[in-house]
A and B are shown apart, each in its own frame.
Chain A
Amino acid sequence: MGLTRRNMMLAGTSAFAVATFCGIPVLASAVDEHIADFTGGADAVAGAIELDAPEIAENGNTVPITVSAPGASSIMILAAGNPVPAVATFNFGPMSAARSGSTRIRLAKTQDVIAVAKMEDGSFQTTQATVKVTIGGCGG
Protein backbone atom coordinates (compact mmCIF):
# COMPACT_ATOMS: atom_id res chain seq x y z
CA MET A 1 0.00 0.00 0.00
CA GLY A 2 1.43 3.35 -1.03
CA LEU A 3 1.55 6.41 1.12
CA THR A 4 -1.74 7.87 0.04
CA ARG A 5 -3.46 10.88 1.45
CA ARG A 6 -6.00 8.61 3.15
CA ASN A 7 -3.30 6.59 4.90
CA MET A 8 -1.66 9.76 6.10
CA MET A 9 -4.95 10.90 7.56
CA LEU A 10 -5.44 7.58 9.31
CA ALA A 11 -1.94 7.65 10.76
CA GLY A 12 -2.51 11.21 11.92
CA THR A 13 -5.74 10.46 13.73
CA SER A 14 -4.35 7.39 15.48
CA ALA A 15 -1.30 9.36 16.63
CA PHE A 16 -3.66 11.97 17.99
CA ALA A 17 -5.64 9.29 19.78
CA VAL A 18 -2.46 7.98 21.42
CA ALA A 19 -1.33 11.47 22.39
CA THR A 20 -4.62 12.32 24.07
CA PHE A 21 -4.84 8.98 25.78
CA CYS A 22 -3.85 9.22 29.41
CA GLY A 23 -3.86 6.76 32.25
CA ILE A 24 -4.97 3.18 32.09
CA PRO A 25 -8.51 2.80 30.80
CA VAL A 26 -10.91 1.74 33.47
CA LEU A 27 -12.49 -1.60 32.89
CA ALA A 28 -16.24 -1.72 33.01
CA SER A 29 -15.95 -3.92 36.09
CA ALA A 30 -14.38 -1.05 38.09
CA VAL A 31 -17.47 1.02 37.42
CA ASP A 32 -19.71 -1.90 38.33
CA GLU A 33 -17.77 -2.33 41.56
CA HIS A 34 -18.30 1.32 42.48
CA ILE A 35 -22.00 0.99 41.79
CA ALA A 36 -22.24 -2.26 43.76
CA ASP A 37 -20.42 -0.62 46.69
CA PHE A 38 -22.87 2.24 46.62
CA THR A 39 -26.06 0.20 46.18
CA GLY A 40 -25.02 -2.82 48.22
CA GLY A 41 -25.94 -5.05 45.30
CA ALA A 42 -29.45 -3.69 44.83
CA ASP A 43 -30.66 -3.02 41.31
CA ALA A 44 -30.69 0.57 40.16
CA VAL A 45 -33.55 1.41 37.82
CA ALA A 46 -34.38 4.40 35.67
CA GLY A 47 -36.57 6.94 37.40
CA ALA A 48 -36.96 10.63 38.05
CA ILE A 49 -33.20 11.08 38.31
CA GLU A 50 -31.78 13.48 35.75
CA LEU A 51 -28.23 14.06 34.66
CA ASP A 52 -27.63 17.18 32.65
CA ALA A 53 -24.32 17.18 30.79
CA PRO A 54 -23.24 18.76 27.51
CA GLU A 55 -23.30 16.51 24.45
CA ILE A 56 -19.96 17.86 23.34
CA ALA A 57 -17.40 19.26 25.76
CA GLU A 58 -14.60 21.15 24.07
CA ASN A 59 -12.41 21.12 27.13
CA GLY A 60 -12.40 17.99 29.25
CA ASN A 61 -10.87 19.92 32.14
CA THR A 62 -14.12 21.61 33.08
CA VAL A 63 -17.30 19.93 32.03
CA PRO A 64 -20.35 21.42 33.75
CA ILE A 65 -22.85 18.85 34.95
CA THR A 66 -26.05 18.96 36.98
CA VAL A 67 -27.72 16.05 38.70
CA SER A 68 -31.11 16.04 40.31
CA ALA A 69 -33.21 13.28 41.78
CA PRO A 70 -36.32 14.22 43.74
CA GLY A 71 -36.41 12.26 46.99
CA ALA A 72 -32.77 11.22 46.87
CA SER A 73 -30.65 11.07 49.99
CA SER A 74 -27.40 10.87 48.05
CA ILE A 75 -26.23 10.87 44.46
CA MET A 76 -22.98 9.37 43.22
CA ILE A 77 -21.39 10.48 39.95
CA LEU A 78 -19.04 8.23 37.97
CA ALA A 79 -17.07 8.81 34.79
CA ALA A 80 -16.66 5.42 33.11
CA GLY A 81 -13.68 6.39 30.94
CA ASN A 82 -11.51 8.17 33.51
CA PRO A 83 -8.40 6.59 35.06
CA VAL A 84 -10.33 6.73 38.34
CA PRO A 85 -14.07 6.45 37.76
CA ALA A 86 -15.28 8.09 40.98
CA VAL A 87 -16.10 11.78 40.55
CA ALA A 88 -18.15 12.96 43.50
CA THR A 89 -20.93 11.96 45.87
CA PHE A 90 -23.55 14.45 46.98
CA ASN A 91 -25.09 13.65 50.37
CA PHE A 92 -28.18 15.72 51.02
CA GLY A 93 -29.08 16.84 54.53
CA PRO A 94 -32.39 17.86 56.10
CA MET A 95 -31.97 21.52 55.05
CA SER A 96 -31.53 20.66 51.41
CA ALA A 97 -34.40 21.77 49.18
CA ALA A 98 -34.37 20.31 45.67
CA ARG A 99 -32.15 17.25 45.64
CA SER A 100 -29.91 18.62 42.98
CA GLY A 101 -26.35 19.77 42.60
CA SER A 102 -24.13 21.29 39.92
CA THR A 103 -20.40 21.10 39.60
CA ARG A 104 -17.62 20.97 37.04
CA ILE A 105 -15.77 17.76 36.36
CA ARG A 106 -12.75 16.46 34.46
CA LEU A 107 -13.20 13.93 31.68
CA ALA A 108 -10.18 12.21 30.16
CA LYS A 109 -11.89 11.36 26.88
CA THR A 110 -15.26 10.81 25.26
CA GLN A 111 -17.21 8.61 27.63
CA ASP A 112 -20.36 7.93 29.62
CA VAL A 113 -21.06 9.83 32.80
CA ILE A 114 -23.19 7.82 35.19
CA ALA A 115 -25.28 9.04 38.11
CA VAL A 116 -26.69 6.71 40.74
CA ALA A 117 -29.10 8.01 43.35
CA LYS A 118 -29.98 6.44 46.67
CA MET A 119 -33.56 7.32 47.41
CA GLU A 120 -34.98 7.98 50.86
CA ASP A 121 -37.05 4.79 50.64
CA GLY A 122 -33.89 2.73 50.11
CA SER A 123 -34.30 2.11 46.40
CA PHE A 124 -31.81 3.17 43.76
CA GLN A 125 -32.13 5.02 40.49
CA THR A 126 -29.59 5.49 37.75
CA THR A 127 -29.10 7.38 34.54
CA GLN A 128 -26.25 8.17 32.23
CA ALA A 129 -25.18 10.60 29.54
CA THR A 130 -22.52 10.38 26.88
CA VAL A 131 -20.18 13.34 26.65
CA LYS A 132 -17.93 13.84 23.64
CA VAL A 133 -14.65 15.35 24.72
CA THR A 134 -12.48 17.24 22.25
CA ILE A 135 -9.49 17.85 24.53
CA GLY A 136 -9.01 15.39 27.38
CA GLY A 137 -8.76 16.66 30.91
CA CYS A 138 -5.97 14.80 32.65
CA GLY A 139 -2.88 16.69 31.63
CA GLY A 140 0.17 14.68 30.67
Chain B
Amino acid sequence: MAKGVKPRVKVPKTAAAGDMITIKTLISHKMESGQRKDKDGNKIPRSIINRFTCEFNGQSVIDVTIEPAISTNPYFKFDAVVPETGEFKFTWYDDDGSVYETAKNIAVG
Protein backbone atom coordinates (compact mmCIF):
# COMPACT_ATOMS: atom_id res chain seq x y z
CA MET B 1 0.00 0.00 0.00
CA ALA B 2 1.29 3.41 -0.90
CA LYS B 3 2.15 5.50 2.12
CA GLY B 4 0.06 8.26 3.61
CA VAL B 5 -3.03 7.67 1.54
CA LYS B 6 -5.89 9.46 3.19
CA PRO B 7 -9.29 9.85 1.55
CA ARG B 8 -11.33 12.96 2.31
CA VAL B 9 -14.94 13.35 1.28
CA LYS B 10 -17.44 16.14 1.64
CA VAL B 11 -21.11 15.17 1.59
CA PRO B 12 -23.98 17.21 3.09
CA LYS B 13 -25.38 15.60 6.26
CA THR B 14 -29.01 16.13 5.32
CA ALA B 15 -31.02 16.68 2.16
CA ALA B 16 -34.62 16.73 0.99
CA ALA B 17 -35.85 13.65 -0.87
CA GLY B 18 -34.93 13.75 -4.54
CA ASP B 19 -32.50 16.61 -3.98
CA MET B 20 -29.39 17.04 -6.05
CA ILE B 21 -26.31 17.27 -3.90
CA THR B 22 -22.70 18.01 -4.75
CA ILE B 23 -20.01 15.67 -3.53
CA LYS B 24 -16.34 16.55 -3.36
CA THR B 25 -13.64 13.95 -2.88
CA LEU B 26 -9.91 14.18 -2.46
CA ILE B 27 -7.41 11.46 -1.75
CA SER B 28 -3.76 12.04 -0.98
CA HIS B 29 -1.70 10.04 -3.43
CA LYS B 30 1.48 10.86 -5.30
CA MET B 31 0.09 9.60 -8.65
CA GLU B 32 3.50 8.79 -10.13
CA SER B 33 2.85 9.02 -13.87
CA GLY B 34 5.58 6.70 -15.13
CA GLN B 35 6.91 9.54 -17.32
CA ARG B 36 9.26 11.12 -14.79
CA LYS B 37 12.90 10.21 -14.46
CA ASP B 38 15.05 10.17 -11.35
CA LYS B 39 18.51 11.77 -10.96
CA ASP B 40 20.22 8.89 -12.79
CA GLY B 41 17.85 9.09 -15.74
CA ASN B 42 15.93 5.94 -14.86
CA LYS B 43 12.20 6.01 -15.28
CA ILE B 44 10.27 6.12 -12.04
CA PRO B 45 7.70 3.33 -12.35
CA ARG B 46 4.05 4.23 -12.62
CA SER B 47 2.07 4.13 -9.41
CA ILE B 48 -1.37 5.67 -9.58
CA ILE B 49 -4.94 5.19 -8.50
CA ASN B 50 -6.57 3.81 -11.64
CA ARG B 51 -10.24 3.78 -10.70
CA PHE B 52 -12.61 5.66 -8.43
CA THR B 53 -16.20 4.73 -7.75
CA CYS B 54 -19.02 6.20 -5.73
CA GLU B 55 -22.16 4.27 -4.82
CA PHE B 56 -25.32 5.21 -3.01
CA ASN B 57 -27.04 2.29 -1.26
CA GLY B 58 -25.35 -0.07 -3.71
CA GLN B 59 -26.29 1.84 -6.86
CA SER B 60 -23.60 3.51 -8.92
CA VAL B 61 -23.30 7.28 -8.90
CA ILE B 62 -20.06 7.61 -10.79
CA ASP B 63 -17.27 5.32 -11.90
CA VAL B 64 -14.14 7.08 -13.12
CA THR B 65 -11.35 5.43 -15.08
CA ILE B 66 -8.19 7.29 -14.14
CA GLU B 67 -5.08 7.61 -16.29
CA PRO B 68 -1.67 9.00 -15.30
CA ALA B 69 -2.69 12.47 -16.50
CA ILE B 70 -4.75 13.01 -13.36
CA SER B 71 -2.91 15.28 -10.92
CA THR B 72 -1.32 14.38 -7.62
CA ASN B 73 -3.94 14.02 -4.87
CA PRO B 74 -6.83 13.24 -7.24
CA TYR B 75 -9.83 15.46 -6.74
CA PHE B 76 -13.32 14.81 -8.04
CA LYS B 77 -16.48 16.81 -7.78
CA PHE B 78 -19.80 15.51 -9.04
CA ASP B 79 -23.54 15.55 -8.38
CA ALA B 80 -25.84 12.86 -7.04
CA VAL B 81 -29.53 12.46 -6.31
CA VAL B 82 -30.66 11.31 -2.88
CA PRO B 83 -34.11 9.68 -2.93
CA GLU B 84 -33.83 8.32 0.62
CA THR B 85 -31.68 8.14 3.72
CA GLY B 86 -28.61 6.09 3.03
CA GLU B 87 -24.92 5.75 2.68
CA PHE B 88 -22.49 6.94 0.06
CA LYS B 89 -19.63 4.54 -0.38
CA PHE B 90 -16.41 5.72 -2.00
CA THR B 91 -13.74 3.36 -3.31
CA TRP B 92 -10.34 4.05 -4.83
CA TYR B 93 -8.35 1.30 -6.57
CA ASP B 94 -4.55 1.57 -6.50
CA ASP B 95 -2.22 0.14 -9.18
CA ASP B 96 -0.59 -2.00 -6.49
CA GLY B 97 -3.88 -3.71 -5.70
CA SER B 98 -4.72 -1.69 -2.60
CA VAL B 99 -8.28 -0.53 -2.20
CA TYR B 100 -9.08 2.58 -0.16
CA GLU B 101 -12.60 2.97 1.13
CA THR B 102 -14.63 5.48 3.01
CA ALA B 103 -18.34 6.05 3.53
CA LYS B 104 -20.66 8.91 4.49
CA ASN B 105 -24.22 8.82 5.72
CA ILE B 106 -26.88 11.22 4.60
CA ALA B 107 -30.27 11.71 6.21
CA VAL B 108 -33.37 12.61 4.24
CA GLY B 109 -35.93 14.38 6.35
Contacts and interface: CB of A to CB of B under 8 A. Distances in A.
Interface stretch (B5-13, B54-62, B92-100): B54-62
Interface in B48-77: 55-56, 59-72, 74-77
Given A87-B69, A105-B70, A106-B70, A98 B79 contact: yes
A56 to B, nearest CB: 17
Nearest to B25: A103
B33 interface: yes
Contacts of A82: 69
Contacts of A87: 67, 69-70
Nearest to B69: A87
Dominant secondary structure of chain B at its interface with chain A: strand
A104 B81 CA distance: 23
Interface size class of A (residues with CB under 8 A): 35 or more
Interface in A72-98: 79, 82-84, 86-98
A92 B71 contact: no
Contacts, number: 110
| A22, A23, A63, A97, most chain B CB atoms within 10 A | A97
Contact of B60 (A93, A106, A138): A93
Nearest to A22: B35
A93 B75 contact: no
Given A22-B35, A23-B35, A101-B76, A88 B62 contact: no
Interface residues of B, number: 30
Given A95-B56, A96-B79, A106-B70, A139 B37 contact: yes
Nearest to B81: A97
Contacts of B72: 61-62
Nearest to B59: A95
Interface in A42-74: 61-63, 66
Contact of B81 (A79, A89, A90, A96): A96
A89 B64 contact: yes
A95 B81 contact: yes
Contacts of B2: none
- Closest 5 A-B residue pairs measured CB to CB? A93-B60, A139-B36, A97-B79, A102-B77, A97-B20
